[in-house]
Amino acid sequence: MPTLKINGKTLDVQAEPDTPLLWVLRGELRMNGTKFGCGMALCGACTVHLDGEPARSCVTPISAVGARDITTIEGLKGAEADALKAAWVDLDVVQCGYCQSGQLMSACALLRKTPRPSDTDIDQAMSGNLCRCGTYPRIRAAIHQAARKKRA
């Protein structure tokens, strides 16, 4: 039985090793914060962290996860995450919301590595996260605001 470390807990799962992580999160574990968009690593809705790095869970079989720490939107914590969530609310970033957990996962990984990101840093880090509602300008502004708050 495969074992996964998710949000600090070690869990045994029933799924076959070639099952994509997203299927396990949503279907088996009922952790529905991580979204299914394209299933082809094209939209970013399914973004989680593996050892802190953003990863597309729709194309990551659980056999490829190994012993790495999986973080989902439900377990996203820390100073950067708190600053981002506050900025998201403050600037009313969300429209339909579907893409937003993936956006926050990518934004958080960016801020942890690059505390003072430029517009170019943001555009590069966020380029794999699509938003059909076009919230990109508010996402960028919220990342800048979170970065400023975090430094203050």
64 binds ligand FES (CB under 6 A): no
46 binds ligand FES (CB under 6 A): yes
137 binds ligand FES (CB under 6 A): no
Nearest Cα to 148, choosing from 81, 94, 83?
A: 83
Contacts with 126 (C-beta within 8 Å, 6 or more apart), sequence order: 103, 106, 107, 110, 136, 139, 140, 143
Partners of 48 in the beta sheet?
55
Give all strands of the β-sheet with 69-71 in edge-to-edge order: 9-12, 3-6, 69-71, 47-50, 53-56
The one among 100, 107, 140, 142 contacting ligand FES by CB under 6 A:
100
Q: What is the DSSP string of 59-72?
A: G-BHHHHTTPEEE-
Least separation, in Å, of the C-beta of 115 and ligand FES?
Answer: 25
Look up residue 16 and give its two tokens. 């076959």
129 binds ligand FES (CB under 6 A): no
The one among 25, 44, 76, 143 contacting ligand FES by CB under 6 A:
44
In this structure, how many other beta carbons lie within 10 angstroms of the beta carbon of residue 36? 18
The one among 24, 43, 104, 125 contacting ligand FES by CB under 6 A:
43
25 binds ligand FES (CB under 6 A): no
The one among 135, 142, 146, 147 contacting ligand FES by CB under 6 A:
135
Least separation, in Å, of the C-beta of 41 and ligand FES?
Answer: 5
Residues that bind ligand FES (CB under 6 A): 36-39, 41-46, 56, 58, 94-100, 131-133, 135
